[in-house]
Amino acid sequence: MIGNSIIKLRGVDIFQQAHHVLADVNLHVDKGDFVWLIGQTGSGKSSLLKVLYGDVNISTGEGIACGYDLNNLKSKDVPFLRRKLGIVFQDFQLLIDRSVEQNLQFVMRATGWKDKQLIAERILDVLEKVGLRSKLKKMPHELSGGEQQRVVIARALLNNPEIILADEPTGNLDPDTSEEIVLLLKQISQNEGTAVVIATHDYHIIRTFPSRIIKCENGKVLEDVTIG
């Protein structure tokens, strides 16, 4: 890895099936960065994130994510890469038949945690960070949309990730709840030194929390743009 760079792409072409989505991508994200990823629907935001968490391979240029060489990423390496990444989706993807605690236990066991005491302590720790310690035994349907997204962020924090990748995390939330979720992610970035990349098309929230902006447009990735 170069310096503090958690993500570094240089001259990368991104394809989805045979479709050339993004060309000659140059991108860096450093420790503790808080970054907006913007662009119209279909501009390549999600494809770019998929490259970063090992769901789409690259064949040209150079790519590093959390110390992993994305050019030579083997399928057996992907779970280890994802332990260093926290991923937050728009649609929560919680297991609806399990409590908050059981949702988090499931992820921890799947990523190699075995000690019950350590699992229990870590779950309380991440729920404390997102303000949901009292919701440990609740089922997803007993939570509001904002609370469910906080559980998802807690889930993303379980393995002390170097970076959180959030794909439209406020897409299903009302404006006030959206601001609460972004503020939470911003605090995590500042307090934990965790880099955060949020893909969004919500310009109101970007103006509310001004920060570095990366834009997907016309098959290119533009670093450090400004919006009016």
Q: At 217, which helix (H) or strand (E)?
A: strand 212-217
Q: Give the tens place of pLDDT for each residue, 39-68.
A: 988 899 989 999 999 998 888 999 999 999
Q: Give the tens place of pLDDT for each residue, 127-156.
A: 999 999 999 999 999 999 999 999 999 999
Nearest to 199 by CA among 93, 92, 88, 91: 88
Give the list of residues 6+ apart from residue 121 with CB closer than 8 angstroms, or none: none
Alpha-carbon span 44 to 55, nearest angstrom:
14
> Are the CB atoms for 15 and 48 separated by under 8 Å?
no
Q: Give the tens place of pLDDT for each residue, 69-124.
A: 999 899 899 888 988 999 998 777 899 999 999 999 999 998 889 999 999 999 99
pLDDT of 164: 95
Angle at 175 between CA 95 and CA 162, to 5 degrees: 55
> Are the CB atoms for 166 and 88 separated by under 8 Å?
yes
pTM here is: 0.91
Tally of CA atoms within 13 A in the half-sphere of 171 that contains its CB: 14
pLDDT of 3: 55
Look at residue 183 and tell me whether its pLDDT is greater than 90. Answer: yes
Strand partners, 223: 214
pLDDT of 110: 87
Strands 34-38, 212-217: pairing is parallel
pLDDT of 2: 45
pLDDT of 147: 94
pLDDT of 223: 87
Q: Taking the CB of residue 148, how many other CB atoms lie within 10 A of it?
A: 23
